[in-house]
Structure formats: C-alpha cells, structure tokens
Structure 1
C-alpha cells in the first residue's frame, strides 16, 4: 500500500481523530487540502492535479462523473460497504449502485437563528426574508447558488430545481431584496453565529447541531414551504496517485465505530445503519438531524438541469453575487 493520501474536503468536515487513527493503523501520511465550498471543489478538480479522495455533494458526483473525473470503485476492496443502509447502497439518483461514490453524511438545508437575539419564532422562508430586514447586517447565506436560489424558489411555491423564466424572475427580485441586508455570502458561517456577529443564517442542519454542542443557542428550522435534502459522498479521483490507499481509507470510514465518530463530530445524519446504535438517544431522536416523515415529504434533492436551465441560474447567481 502507498504511504501517502491526499484528501480534498471542506472546512471542519472531518474529525482530526479520524485522520490520526487512519495514519496510525495504516502507516499512512494524510495530506488535507481545504476548499471553502462545493463550487470551488469542482473547480479544483477541473484545474488539477487531482487529490486521492474528495467529498463532493450528490450533484457534484453527477458532474464530475460525467466528465470522467471519478474512479470506478472496486467493491472487493470495500468489505464494509454492507454496513450502509440499503437506500444508500442502491437506488440513489446520482449514483444508483455506489459505482463511484459512497455516502458520508446526509442532511437538510434550512435556516438557523440565535434564539437569545431573535425573539420571533420563524417557521418559513417568508419569515426568513422578513427577519432579514429587521436584523439587517447580521444575516448570512451560503455561498452556494443551488441552496440560495432554491430557497427563493421554494418560498414562491416553485420546485427547488425550477429553471423557468417566471420562477427565476421572482427569485431574482426576492434575492436582490435580501442581498441588501446580508452580512456575507459564506459557507463557513459558524464562527459568525458563534461570536454573535450574525444572528440569522441560511445553512445546514449539522452546523446548527455543532453550534448547539458548543453551547451556542441556535435554533434550526426546516421551512414550512419545503427545502433541500442532500447527500455528501466520499469518492476517489479518476487519476488518483494512491488508489489502493484511497480504497483503504473509504473502507476505514465505513467502519461503524469510525462513522459514529464522524457523525458525532459533524452533527449530520449517517447512512451507516450499524452506526445509529452507537449514537446517543438525543442524537437519534433529534428531528433536526433525522427529520420525521412529514418533513421529509417536503424536501427535494438537487437534480441535474439542462444546459439552458443551468445558464439561466448561473446568470442569476452572477447578478446576485456581483
């Protein structure tokens, strides 16, 4: 086995203990490269040189695989694969048979607020927009077009993946109005909430759980209009320099004890069925982490868009971010 492993990942998205444990057990030196968002991760993969292991979201798995940038996984080198729940082993829209990816975490996109600052009890995207005006300058949204445009679309009753002219015109007006009140477009927004500089953020459920674990009083909301359900995956670059070690790492993180360690660290839901029993009852029964069926019914996955739809949304995002 090779003695080096290069990982491409987002900020604070892997437990340092997991890396140290892998290095010790396998005699491997892990080199971590951090990118701030999924957009930069895809750009980094296109620019090269490729890492060994990366953590793309579900839609990026589709993109990168279509471009031939992901390695076909050797399931014979992943004996821990059966620990995954059946729905994560077969039938995933973006990679039905785990051909190029395996689930790391899954979660939802919504918003969170500092309950010691915000006296209201918002329940909807419309409430988020309204509170942004009241708490102007203390509001953040993700630096991620899918989530932000999707939120505006859901607020108006459209699909999260809508690309029609009328739907995007409504989203444009709402986002330009929201933009006036933003502190930042930031994927690494947790420090802003923790410090109190921000009190309202469009973000991910696991970040709210992590902030709560730090003693920061934030409350997470899946908006009543609906939102996104997503999945982040482990994958191996097609031209990885250390493919054997990369497979060993994926099999390592599939171990229930390691997956549990990761779930506790990130605050996100695990797709590892054996891991669930290792988590404490509070985590297993937390509806922000494992949403009930009635909430799941309102959630959509990000889906591939046609070229015209992609272009229209890219132009909208460029205007919003300019």
Structure 2
C-alpha cells in the first residue's frame, strides 16, 4: 500500500469559517444549530453529461498514471461515459476555496471542511436513494454530525482513520497507555517528541484535558469556551519545549522514527505500518483517553454542472471493489462493509479496524470549531477556528 494523504493544514485566515458558518462536535453533538440554505436534493438523475470535475485528496482519484496498479478511474469512465477531471487539493481550505468557484461537481471533504461547505450553501443535500451502494456503508458512518444536518444527508462517506500514539518500543519504557506520555510526561523524551503541524491539533490537547482535568468540563474537543481553550493552548505551549519536530509529511515522520530523532508522538496507522516495514521498532495505538480522527465525505456542489456524472462517481467510489482499492492504496478504513471481501491483503480491514464499531466510538472525528457551542451549551461562546489558527502560531513560537 502507498500512504498518500497530505496532512490537513489550515493556515490561511482569509479562508477561515465566517461567523455564520457552523461546525459540530466530533461524534457526540448534533449539528442541529446549523441553518444551511434551503437547497433541494435531486429526485432523479438525467442523462450522463460526459464529464465530472472533482476535487480530492491525493490518492483518491487514481487513473494509473502515477501507479499502473492503481486505476479505478478508467473503469468508471468506460462504464458511465463520464470523463474524470480531478484536482488534487493540499488542504481543506483549498477545497473550500475551489468549491466556491462553481467549477467543480464534487469534493472529498474532511470533517473540518464539510460543515463549512454546507453552511455556505456550496454543498447540496444528497439523495442517498440515487446512490445504491450507500446501503453498504457502515451504519456508524451514516448521518453523522459532520455529514448531515437535521436528518438530511449532505454526502456519501468514503473512509476514516484515527490519529494514534506511536512510540519506539526499545526507547520508550515503560510502554505508554495515555496521551500523558506526550503532554505531562514528555520530559524524559525532550527533543524527540513529535506532533502533527496543524491548528486542529489543539483538539488533541483538549481531548487529553477532558480526561486529566475534569474540572474543565470539556465535553467536546472541538467546542471549547475561552477557559477550556486557554488550558489546551497552555498545555501545548508547555509541550513545545519537548517537541523535536512538528510533522506534515509522513515520510519525514517515518525517517525520524527510523533514525531515532523521534521516539514518541502522533501518527496514522498507515505511517506506523510503513515505519515498521522499514525496520523501525514502533507500536501505534489508541490511548485510554481515546483519539481524534478524520472521516471523509464525497459531497456534491450546489452548482454542479454535471450532477448526474457526480452521482455516478459517488456510487462508484463507494462500491465494494473500488472502495477496497482506494482504502488499501490510501491507507484508511473503507466506508463500505463489503469492501473487506475485496482487499488484496486479507488482514487489511482487521488492521484498520474497519468493522470495529467499539473502536470508532473512541474517536472524536475532526470538525470546525465555531462560536456556537454545539456540545449543547447555551449562554457561552466557544472559540472559533480563526482563533485556533492564531494560537497555533503562538504555540509553535
């Protein structure tokens, strides 16, 4: 398998969520406070338009040009007559910006972008009856806070992954069980702790504080009032003294663990697998507090010029065989339960916990922080994402 995901970096303030745009919690709260434009999902599909323009993460739309063994675009074009034109986006902000142009029909949005697209009216509701393979999607991925609003679906789940704690089994002893190993207990590994380079990492600190400092009363790591937010930022500023490198490139993290420059920090399952295959003595797991994570959703533009081809792509990409190909190539758990019967590696779905509902209940999936505290609180404002970006710059010094 080839890990191709580029870390979501949200650094352009001009593209941040406006005050009226809304997000929700990572799997616990409802997005019911969101009031998107009253857009309608289609009731039927017309004739295929002959083309579909997509925005996607690297590794999601492969036509064999990068790797002859990775091609699920050619089969789609032959079956549907829809020619695929894809734009690879570097981060969620770029996806949001590109969708606003109206030049694209669909996008593979992560949770920190999906509700922005819904709130702005750039993404339309999706009629799941027009996507037959949606029936095979794991139930715990359907109608979640990051891909639906008030019982209306706004996309088709594609895949998911967790942000894990990885450590060098020969250099980190005793074996850690908690995120405290990179926060309150990081001093023994000073200069060899690593963390991913993104403002959304503040949620990881908040998730740890939710368990370690119950007096803060954090319910949702993406819905932080000022006191909770300040505590998370203070923890990360303290951690900064022990950080050797913030990573945004999976190859750099693999190299750092192989050389010993990093011995403990956050990772993805696919990176842990690659590091181990190249000789690094590492283990990656979900600590006792749980973890943050990501779940991607294919969404249709409200101004799609090729809506029929877009719907055909949504059905194709989540079909069992194709979803298996994408998941293995990309390094993530597939969304369609039937995909596990088609992976080349028969242990793939077990390694990525594809069907392990209990595992995913421990993951707080990415969402965009907003002023409305969608963890159910009223009478208090939560810290919006623009402030997270500013704080991240301060944290890194």
- Within the alignment, does 1:306 sit opposite 2:371 as a pair? yes
Q: Distance in 2 between matches of 1:98 and 1:204?
A: 31
Specify the alignment match of 1:247 in structure 2.
311
Q: 1:290 to 1:208 in 2, by over 3 A?
A: farther
Report what 1:265 is aligned to: 329
Out of 39, 51, 60, which is 1:4 matched to?
51
Closer/same/farther in 2, CA of residues 53 and 201 from structure 1, 3 Å limit? farther
Structure (1 or 2) with the greater helix fraction: 1
- Superposition pairs for residues 10-25 of structure 1, below 5 Å? 10-15=57-62, 16-25=70-79
Aligned-partner Cα distance in 1 for 2:230–2:188: 24
Please provide the CA RMSD for this pair.
3.3
2:164 is aligned with 1:93: no
Distance 2:328 2:246 in 1: 27
Uncovered stretches (5+) of structure 2, i.e. residues with no partner? 1-47, 63-69, 211-217, 373-380
Native 8 Å contact 1:208 1:219 kept in 2: yes
3-state DSSP of counterpart to 1:156: helix
Query: Judging changes above 3 Å, is the alpha-carbon distance between structure 1 residues 71 and 162 closer, same or farther for their aligned structure 2 residues?
Result: closer
Structure 1 alignment gaps of length 5 or more: none
Match of residue 135, structure 2, among 82, 86, 107:
82
Mapped to 1, the partners of 2:133 and 2:202 lie a distance apart of: 37
**Map 1:214-229 → 2, pairs under 5 A:** 218-229=282-293
> How far 1:320 moved relative to its partner?
2.6
* Selected match of 1:129 from 183, 190, 206: 183
Q: CA offset at residue 120 of structure 1?
A: 5.5
Shift of residue 129 of structure 1?
3.1
1:320 alignment partner in structure 2: 395
The structural deviation recorded for 1:124 is 1.6
- Give the aligned length: 317
Would you say the 8 A contact 2:333–2:352 is kept in 1?
no
User: CA separation in 2, counterparts of 1:233 and 1:10?
Assistant: 11
Query: Of the two, which has the highest radius of gyration?
Result: 2
Deviations 1:12-45, CA, capped at 9 Å, x for gaps: 3455422343234444443332223324433443
123-132 vs 207-216, which moves further: 207-216
Q: In structure 1, how many angstroms separate the alpha carbons of the residues matched to 2:194 and 2:61?
A: 23
Deviation at 1:103, TM superposition (A): 0.3
* Structure 1 position 315, deviation (Å): 4.0
Cα-to-partner distance string for 1:131-156 (whole Å, 9 max, x where unaligned): 7655555554333323x111111222
Contact 1:210 1:266 in 2 (8 A): no
Change (3 A) 1:72 1:298: closer
TM-score (normalizing by structure 2): 0.68
- Following TM superposition, by how much is the alpha carbon of 1:235 offset from its aligned partner in structure 2, in angstroms? 1.0
